[in-house]
Amino acid sequence: MELWIASSNTGKIKEFQNLLFDFPTVHVRTQNEISGFTTREENGDSFLANARIKAKSLRSIKNEAWVLADDSGLEVLGLGNLPGIHSARYAGPKARDSENIAKLLKMMKIRNVSDRTAQFKAALVAISPTGEEFTFEGLMKGLISTQVVGNHGFGYDPIFIPDGQNQTLAELGPGYKNQKSHRALAFKQFLDILKAQV
């Protein structure tokens, strides 16, 4: 069975592959394999809306297999839930993870944010070969650290400390993230649907 991922983010793709470890018959394919493919502009007003845009865009090309899209990001309470849906491009359209992190910490300092409460949100949209749509959401609560720590993961992982932990996601590593992350929690709901297909 083929599962096409509507993403070019290597970190996300690797996470999905890890989460499918117990499903060796599911072959992950990505939009990077389709020459000339570009997804439609992500102009939705929520993670779910943007995930749906990406899923339908890829589905228009790959309509004989499962298609899965994710949109996720970080919400910081003291910044009015920013960067939110703009997480990947918070410091600019082609910003690197380090630039997004630097801007976030700078904005928290400028605004003298004392409440460092934050949460990661993920929304997944899966479309079956028959065109049926499924949606899933996952949430991970935590705090923003005062410094960048850790070498694992991607995005804001080096500054996010999950509830109940004293290390960042980038310190805790992929084993923890594959069990507890917002994306993992949403994806496991999708796996319950997929189990009936393999």
Two tokens at 65?
């297999």
Q: Cα 167 from chain centroid?
A: 20
Q: Does a cis peptide bond (omega within 30 degrees of 0) precede residue 83?
A: yes
Q: How far is residue 75's CA from residue 84's CA, in Å, rounded to a whole number?
A: 5
Number of alpha helices (DSSP H) and beta strands (DSSP E) in the chain: 6, 7
Q: Which residues pair with 142 in a beta bridge?
A: 118, 162
Contact yes or no for 84/98 (Cβ under 8 A): no
How deeply is 107 buried, as exposed, middle or buried, from its count of CB atoms within 10 A (0-12, 13-18, 19+)? middle
Q: Which residues pair with 27 in a beta bridge?
A: 2
User: Is 71 part of the annotated catalytic residue set?
Assistant: yes
CA-based Rg of the chain, rounded to a whole angstrom? Answer: 17
Which of 71, 97, 157, 192 is catalytic? The answer is 71
Active site members? 71
